[in-house]
Structure 1
């Protein structure tokens, strides 16, 4: 692993680990924001995924646990691509719930919330980059293309051999 990855991953993950612990211990400040998101998207979730909880306090805690766990995984380099993708996914409801600057009337509050929303967008961008970082190793799509190419070659070769064998087996 390069020195940059060794340093950058824990730096990127630190906010999620620290806030994950804080938000799990004290979810109440985030419940009102979560409630507004549940009110907006809850019926759709219940229709398509009835087993998913929609109680705001539970959702805040579930998000906190997810951020803590994926943050630790990213920081330690355990499944870093998956961890980064999961963390990026947790930013969407968090930003909608807690930094909806477009709904704020007070110009000062609006600006503060816009800064937080843009910070989350920046974090999401970094996480998306981390989610596609193969550390110089071939990615899944490259490996799939290589396997498909090899399969084509083997199939062509087998087809030629089978035709030749069939031609040689014909009576003269």
Structure 2
């Protein structure tokens, strides 16, 4: 499976790196199509510029950076999530096939929309891939069970100590009486 990951990640990332480079170099080519989605997103997210060309360039830079991280296998789950997050507005803005009047354009945009949907599926699988190791949630549940067992063991041991001490304290008057009787 390791060989598969090493081959598949760069293949999945290649579309994002190539598209990101194209977008960063010529944002004016896609900015008009992105504007209906990008500007409302930017108005809701602090610190994002409202200029569509800048937003498209930022999106392209994320595609390049996260794509390279994914291809290299460096924080691949986080990189896949970043790419998936940027793919949603990219797809909605660039491939709104339901808005197309021309049947040929509509079919072409639907194909691109479905391609991006397929990429999203691959990214989500990649984001969930734990390399055959237990997930963080699984490890946390195990740690919780281990801690609960330790606490139960400790409280059981403490309860035994308390019982032993109580037995010893109850036995003290009898032992004291025996010591007194010996001295007399």
User: Same fold by TM-score, threshold 0.5 exceeded?
Assistant: yes
Mark the CA change 1:38 to 1:21 in structure 2 (over 3 Å): closer, same or farther. Answer: closer
Q: Greater relative contact order: 1 or 2 (C-alpha under 8 angstroms, separation 6 or more)? A: 1
Mark the CA change 1:38 to 1:9 in structure 2 (over 3 Å): closer, same or farther. Answer: closer
Distance 1:50 1:152 in 2: 43
- Counterpart of 1:61? 57
Report if aligned partners of 2:48, 2:55 keep a CA contact under 8 Å in 1: no
Matches within 5 A, 1:18-167: 18-43=18-43, 45=44, 49-167=45-163
Computing the radius of gyration from Cα coordinates, the structure with the larger value is: 2
TM-score, scaled to structure 1: 0.92
Q: What residue ranges of structure 2 are gaps of 5+ in the alignment?
A: 171-184
- Runs of 4+ with >6 A deviation: none
Mark the CA change 1:38 to 1:110 in structure 2 (over 3 Å): closer, same or farther. Answer: same
Distance 1:42 1:4 in 2: 37
Matches within 5 A, 1:2-21: 2-21=2-21
The two structures, once aligned, show a CA RMSD in angstroms of: 1.4
Pairs aligned (count):
168
Mark the CA change 1:5 to 1:158 in structure 2 (over 3 Å): closer, same or farther. Answer: same
